[in-house]
C-alpha cells in the first residue's frame, strides 16, 4: 500500500444563505412549479466572493495545525474561475504564502474536474495542496437557480501523517452531454432530466464503481461511505441501490449548501472524513463526460488530526438573508442604478500591485527591528522611529486574533452590499489599521467584537474585467 495520500482537509461555504421558498415566491407568477423544490436553503457568494476567495479560505482550513512550507504544488479545480487567461491557482498560492518555487495549475471544463484533478494530484506523488472551488450560477427561475450553491474543499497531500490513502481508482470517459456552457456564456444549457439520469448516471457511474472496486480488490460490502454529487434528486441513492451498496450515503448537502459544481464531490469527501473511523473505506464518485471513482481507506492518523472548521463548521456558520434581489444582484443577474458614485472604473495599477505583493498578497505587516512597532502598510521608513524598511521583520496578520476598535456603517459611498462597514481593527500583536468589515448581520457590529481575517475581492474593474483582491475582516461568528 502506498505511503502517500491525504494528510489534511478543509472546507469553506459562503455565509450567505437564502431559503429556497423565497426564490420560488419571486417566480411564482410565471413558474409556480418551483414551489415543489422549495425546501431548505442554499448558499450563495457575496459580491466580493468567487472561486479564488473560497479556495483561499478552504486552503487555510486545510492547513490548520500545519504549514505550506513543504508544499510543492497547488492545484485549483473549478468551472467558474474568474480568469480565462491568468492563472487562478497562482493567486491562491500567493494568498497562503506558498513558497516562491511552487508549481501551480488550473483544472476545469467539467463537473468532474474536482475528482479528476484530485486523482492526478495523487498520482503525481509529491506534497501538494489540492483545492476544488465552484459557484455555478443558474438562470433566474430555473431549476438550477434554486438547487445550485457554492463552496470549496481543500486537501493537503503528502507522506507524513496520512489520514486516507487511495486504494482503488477508475475512470470512464464518454462525451455524454447532460449540460454545457459555451465559452462566453453566463448560463448553461441543460438537457432532459430523465434521460440524463437513466442514460448517464445509471450507466456510467456503476461502470466506474465496479472498475474501482476491482482495482482495490474488494467488494462493495467493503465500502462504508459512498459520496456522489448530482444535480438531480435521489440519483446517489439510485446508483447505490444498483451496485447493492448498503452503507452510509454521504449527505448531498442539499440544505445549507446546494449543488456546488466541480467542488461538490470534494466537499462530500471532506464531510465523510469528519466522522470516518480508521479502517473504513470511502467511495467518491465524480460525474461529467464520464465518471471517476476513487476509493480511500482511512488510517489511524485521523485521530491525531488537529480540529478544523470543516464542512460541518462552515455550514453551521450561516447568515440568512430574506432578499432574493440581493442574491440576484451579487450574481450579476440584474442591472441596478447605483448612481454616479458607482461610475469609477476601479483600474488597478499592476506595477504597484507587483511591487507591494510581499505585503498585500499574504497580508504581511512589518515589525521595526529598532523599536519593534508593527505597521501596515509598510512604508519606506518606520512610522515611529524612522528606521529604514529593509530592517523590518515580516509579521503575517491573516491568522492574528483581532477585535473591533471603532466602526461605522456608511450608506453614502457606493458599495455593492450597503451599508459599507469599516473601522479600525486592533490586533492582539499590537498592529492597528483601518479595514473593511464584511458579512455583518442585521444587529451590526460592536466595539470589542472578535474578528477574523478573510480573503476577498477588494474592488472589481468592470471595464477591464480585473479583480483586485485583499484581506477584510468579519465577525468570528455569524450573527
Give the model confidence (pLDDT) of 198-232 as tens digits.
999 999 999 999 999 999 999 999 999 999 999 89
DSSP run (H or E) holding 81: none
| Complete domains list, the chain, with CATH | 5-330 (3.40.47.10), 344-363+398-475 (no CATH)
Mark out the alpha helices in 276-407 (DSSP H runs): 310-316, 324-330, 350-355, 357-360
pLDDT for 2 equals: 64
Q: Reply yes or no on whether the pLDDT at 104 is more than 80.
A: yes
Interhelix angle 235-242/202-216, nearest 10 degrees: 50
| pTM of the entire predicted model | 0.97
- Distance between CA atoms of 15 and 276, rounded to whole angstroms? 26
**Residue among 12, 18, 15, 85 nearest 53 (CA):** 12
The stretch 51-55 carries a mean pLDDT of 98
* Length of the chain in terms of residues written: 479
- What letter does residue 138 receive in the DSSP assignment? P
Give the model confidence (pLDDT) of 143-202 as tens digits.
999 999 999 999 999 999 999 999 999 999 999 999 999 999 999 999 999 999 999 999
β 393-396/103-107 pair status:
unpaired
pLDDT for 460 equals: 93
- Helix/strand/coil percentages in the chain, nearest 5: 30, 30, 45
DSSP run (H or E) holding 374: strand 374-375
Cα–chain center distance at 198: 31
Amino acid at each position: 500500500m502506498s505511503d502517500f495520500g491525504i494528510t489534511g482537509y478543509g472546507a469553506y461555504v459562503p455565509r450567505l444563505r437564502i431559503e429556497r421558498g423565497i426564490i420560488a415566491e419571486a417566480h411564482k407568477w410565471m413558474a409556480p412549479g418551483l414551489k415543489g423544490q422549495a425546501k431548505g436553503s442554499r448558499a450563495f457568494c457575496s459580491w466580493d466572493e468567487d472561486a479564488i476567495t473560497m479556495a483561499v479560505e478552504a486552503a487555510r482550513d486545510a492547513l490548520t495545525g500545519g504549514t505550506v512550507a513543504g508544499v510543492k504544488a497547488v492545484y485549483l479545480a473549478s468551472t467558474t474561475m474568474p480568469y480565462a487567461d491568468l492563472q487562478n491557482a497562482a493567486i491562491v498560492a500567493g494568498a497562503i504564502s506558498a513558497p516562491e518555487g511552487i508549481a501551480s495549475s488550473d483544472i476545469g471544463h467539467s463537473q468532474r474536474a474536482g475528482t479528476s484533478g484530485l486523482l492526478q494530484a495523487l498520482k503525481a506523488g509529491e506534497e501538494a495542496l489540492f483545492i476544488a472551488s465552484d459557484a455555478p450560477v443558474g438562470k433566474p427561475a430555473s431549476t438550477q437557480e434554486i438547487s445550485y450553491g457554492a463552496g470549496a474543499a481543500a486537501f493537503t497531500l503528502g507522506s507524513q501523517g496520512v489520514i486516507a490513502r487511495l486504494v482503488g481508482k477508475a475512470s470512464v470517459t464518454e462525451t455524454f452531454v447532460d449540460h454545457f456552457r459555451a465559452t462566453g456564456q453566463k448560463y448553461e444549457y441543460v438537457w432532459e432530466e430523465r434521460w440524463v439520469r437513466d442514460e448517464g448516471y445509471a450507466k456510467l457511474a456503476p461502470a466506474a464503481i465496479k472498475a474501482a472496486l476491482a482495482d482495490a480488490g474488494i467488494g462493495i460490502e467493503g465500502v462504508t461511505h459512498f459520496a456522489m454529487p448530482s444535480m438531480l434528486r435521489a440519483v446517489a441513492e439510485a446508483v447505490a441501490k444498483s451496485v447493492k451498496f448498503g452503507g452510509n450515503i454521504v449527505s448531498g448537502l442539499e440544505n445549507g449548501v446546494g449543488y456546488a459544481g466541480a467542488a461538490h464531490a470534494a466537499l462530500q469527501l471532506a464531510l465523510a472524513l469528519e466522522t470516518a473511523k480508521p479502517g473504513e473505506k470511502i467511495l467518491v464518485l465524480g460525474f461529467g463526460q464520464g465518471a471517476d471513482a476513487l476509493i480511500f481507506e482511512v488510517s489511524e492518523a485521523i485521530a491525531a488530526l488537529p480540529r478544523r472548521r470543516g464542512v460541518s463548521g462552515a455550514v453551521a456558520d450561516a447568515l440568512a438573508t430574506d432578499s432574493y434581489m440581493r442574491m440576484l444582484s451579487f450574481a450579476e443577474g440584474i442591472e441596478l442604478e447605483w448612481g454616479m458614485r458607482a461610475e469609477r472604473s476601479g483600474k488597478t495599477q499592476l506595477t504597484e500591485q507587483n511591487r507591494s505583493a510581499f505585503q498585500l498578497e499574504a497580508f504581511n505587516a512589518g515589525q521595526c527591528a529598532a523599536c519593534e512597532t508593527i505597521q501596515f502598510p509598510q512604508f519606506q521608513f518606520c512610522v515611529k522611529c524612522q528606521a529604514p524598511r529593509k530592517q523590518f521583520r515580516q509579521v503575517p496578520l491573516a491568522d492574528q486574533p483581532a477585535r473591533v476598535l471603532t466602526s461605522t456603517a456608511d450608506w453614502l459611498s457606493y458599495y455593492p452590499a450597503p451599508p459599507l462597514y469599516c473601522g479600525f481593527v486592533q490586533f492582539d500583536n499590537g498592529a492597528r489599521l483601518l479595514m473593511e468589515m464584511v458579512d455583518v448581520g442585521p444587529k451590526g457590529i460592536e466595539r470589542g467584537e472578535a474578528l477574523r481575517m478573510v480573503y476577498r475581492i477588494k474592488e472589481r474593474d468592470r471595464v477591464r474585467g480585473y479583480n483586485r483582491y485583499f484581506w477584510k475582516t468579519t465577525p468570528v461568528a455569524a450573527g
